[in-house]
Amino acid sequence: MARCFLWRGDGARWQAPGSMKTFFNNILTALLLAALNVAAAADNGPSREGLRLWLDASDAGTLEVQDNVVTRWRDKSGAGHHATALGKPALLEHDFNGHPAVRMSGRDGFRVAAVAGKTGPITAFVVSRRTAAQAGGNGWQRLVSIRSGDIADNKPPNLCLSAEAKSDAYAPSVKVMSKDGIAPGPVGIGTVGGSDRLANALQGDIAEVLIYDRGFVSEGALRDVTDYLAAKWGATVDRKDAGWTRTGPLGPTPELVNASLPLADQQNQGGWIKFEPFSDEFNGPALDTTKWEPMRQWKGRAPGLFRSSNVTMDNGCLVLTMRKETVPEMAKDPRYHDYTSAILQTIRYTRYGYFEIRARPMNSAGSSSFWFAGGGKTWRIEIDVFEIGAKALGREKAYNMNAHVFRENGKADHWSTGGVWQAPWPLADGFHVYGLEWSPQQLVYHVDGVAVRSLPNTHWHQPMRLIFDSETMPDWFGLPKDEDLPSSFRVDYVRVWKRPGWEGVIGEEELDARSWEPLK
C-alpha cells in the first residue's frame, strides 16, 4: 500500500477547488485512482456489492489531517458517507503493524450520516486494536454504532459493535457484526451514533471500517472480506458474535435425487456417511425406544405440560400434539394448567454431523422446535435449529434459529447468537426439509437444502441430545387459540450423516467422565 503515501500531507486538497494545481491534481488523482482500481482488481479488495461506508486509514488521501488531528475521514465506497471528527482523533503514521491508523483517546469519535436507505440487514467489519497503554478505561467501548430515535444502540432496530466487553488490550483484529432489521440512523465510529455528544467512546486504534447494507450470501463470501482485512493489516479474525442470516427467498432449491445423501449436498462433496444410530424414518408401527425417550428432567414451559401420550406415530410420521386439556398431574404443580404438549429426545448424545429432517410445524401458536441440548458438570449448551410459532400473530413466516451457551467453565453465563429468516410462505403450510450442518468450524442452518444462516462454531463442541418438542411460549408466541387445538407438529424423518473422525454416540456416563476440550 506504499502507493497511498504519495498524498500524505495534502489533506487540504479536497477543500481547495479552482486552482490549476488542483486541476492537475485531480487529473493525477483520476489516473492514480484508475491505477488503484486495477491494483484493487488484482488483489480483489473487499466486495463492493452493498458497500455503503469504507474508511481505510492505509489510503492517506482519504484522511484530512491538521496538526496530526484527523478532522475528516473520507468514504471510499462511492456513497459519499464521509466521516466528520468529534474531538481530536489522531493520525498514527505507521504504528499499526507498520501501517497508518486513527487513534481514539476515549474523547474522540466520528459521526456519519445514515448509510442505508431503508430498514434491513447491515454487516459491519472493523479492524482495530487496543494497546496496553490504552487499556483500563470503561467497558463496552463502541467501534460502530447505528442509532435512530431514542432507543439505545444495543437494542433493535439499532446496532452496536463494541471493541470488547472489558477494556483489556487486544492485538489487531477484524471484528464483524451482521444483523437484520436495522433501521436507517446516524452512524458513530468509535462512539454511539446519533449524537454529537461522545458516549462509550473508544480508547483504541481503528484502521479500516466496512459497512454493507446487506447480509452475506455464504460463509465463503464473508470470509473473502475478513481474509482481505486480516492479510492487509496483519490482524486476526474475531467473530464470536458474527453470523449471517438470509434475507429474501431461497432462490433455486436442490432436488432430492439421492435420499441417502443430505438434500443440501446431493453431490456428496462433503464425503458424508449416513449415521444410523441417530436416523429414523418413523415408518414403523411404533416408536423405536432404543433411540428415543421422553424428557425426564423438565416438564415443559408452563402452562403447557409435557405428556408422553401426546407423542404418537401416524402415517409414517412422528407426531407431537398440543391439546387444550386439564390432566390430574397438573394438581402437583400450579404453574401447569389448561394445555398439554409433547417432547421427545434421543437417549444418547452426539456431536458434529449433518442433521436433516422433513417436517411440518403445527398450525397453532404452540411452538414446533428442533433443537439440541446438552450439559455436564461444568458446561451447558444448546443449538436451536428452529423454534417456530406458526400461528403466532405476525410470526407465521418467522424461522427462528439460535445457539446458546448457558454454562461455561463451571460458571453460569448465558449468552446466545440468533437469527431469523423470514420465509416467503406461512411455515405451517406444508412439509419442508430443514437441516443443520454442525462442524467443528461452523454451524450452517438450511431450509430445503439452501443455507439460511451460518456462524463460526466458537463454542458448540460438546455432545448434545437431538430433541423435538412443542411448548406453550406465552411471552413469545402467545397462548394458542382454543379453536386451533389440538394441533400437531409432524416429522417425516430425521437423517443424520457424519464425516470420518467425527464423534458417534456418546453415553450419559461419558459426559462427565471424559474431559472435553474447553467450550472456546
Of all residues in the shown chain, the one whose CB is closest to Ca ion is: 316
Q: What residue type is 487 in one-letter code?
A: S
Residue with Cβ nearer Ca ion (319 or 519): 319
CA 344 to CA 307: how far, in whole Å?
A: 10
Taking phi first (over 0 means left), then psi (-120 to 50 degrees means alpha), and beta for anything else, what does residue 410 get? Answer: left
Whose CA is closest to 365, among 447, 475, 493?
475
Shortest distance (Å) from residue 282 CB to Ca ion = 5
Residue with Cβ nearer Ca ion (313 or 327): 313
3-state SS of 139-173 is: CCCEEEEECCCCCCCCCCCCEEEECCCCCCCEEEE
Residue with Cβ nearer Ca ion (484 or 492): 492
Residue with Cβ nearer Ca ion (242 or 494): 494
Shortest distance (Å) from residue 401 CB to Ca ion = 24
CA 412 to CA 177: how far, in whole Å?
A: 25
CA 146 to CA 92: how far, in whole Å?
A: 26
Cα separations in angstroms, 227 against 44, 163, 234, 481, 503: 11, 19, 10, 50, 30
Which one among 492, 503, 508, 510 touches Ca ion, defined by CB under 5 A? 492
Q: What is the DSSP string of 197-208?
A: S--S--EEEEEE
Residue with Cβ nearer Ca ion (187 or 357): 357
List of residues 6+ apart from 27 with CB closer than 8 A: none
Residue with Cβ nearer Ca ion (492 or 510): 492
> Residue 293 interacts with Ca ion (CB under 5 A)?
no
Instruction: For residue 355, count other CB atoms closer than 10 A to its CB.
Output: 25
| Interface with Ca ion in residues 310-369 (CB under 5 A) | 316
> Residue 284 interacts with Ca ion (CB under 5 A)?
no
Dihedral of CA atoms 495, 499, 505, 508 in degrees, nearest 10, equals: -110
- 417 backbone dihedrals φ, ψ, rounded to 5°: -135, 110
Residue with Cβ nearer Ca ion (431 or 502): 431
Residue with Cβ nearer Ca ion (188 or 361): 361
| Size of site (CB under 5 A) for Ca ion | 6
Shortest distance (Å) from residue 433 CB to Ca ion = 12
Shortest distance (Å) from residue 315 CB to Ca ion = 8
Q: How far apart are the first and last CA of the chain?
A: 35
> Which secondary-structure segment (H or E) carries 509?
helix 508-513
Shortest distance (Å) from residue 446 CB to Ca ion = 19
Shortest distance (Å) from residue 283 CB to Ca ion = 5
| Interface with Ca ion in residues 416-475 (CB under 5 A) | none
Q: What share of the chain is helix, strand, coil (3-state, %, to 5)?
A: 15, 40, 45
197-236 footprint of Ca ion as x/- string (CB under 5 A): ----------------------------------------
Shortest distance (Å) from residue 284 CB to Ca ion = 9
Which one among 224, 227, 241, 281 touches Ca ion, defined by CB under 5 A? 281
> Residue 282 interacts with Ca ion (CB under 5 A)?
yes
Shortest distance (Å) from residue 491 CB to Ca ion = 8
| Interface with Ca ion in residues 301-320 (CB under 5 A) | 316
Q: Exposure pattern of 365-374 as b/e (b: 16+ CB <10 Å)?
A: bbbbbbbbbb
Binding segment for Ca ion (CB under 5 A), chosen from 101-109, 155-163, 399-407, 492-500, is 492-500
Which one among 493, 494, 495, 511 touches Ca ion, defined by CB under 5 A? 493
Residue with Cβ nearer Ca ion (10 or 492): 492
Binding segment for Ca ion (CB under 5 A), chosen from 66-74, 250-258, 278-286, 369-377, is 278-286
Residue with Cβ nearer Ca ion (222 or 491): 491
Shortest distance (Å) from residue 358 CB to Ca ion = 8
- 285 backbone dihedrals φ, ψ, rounded to 5°: -70, -25
Residues that bind Ca ion (CB under 5 A): 281-283, 316, 492-493
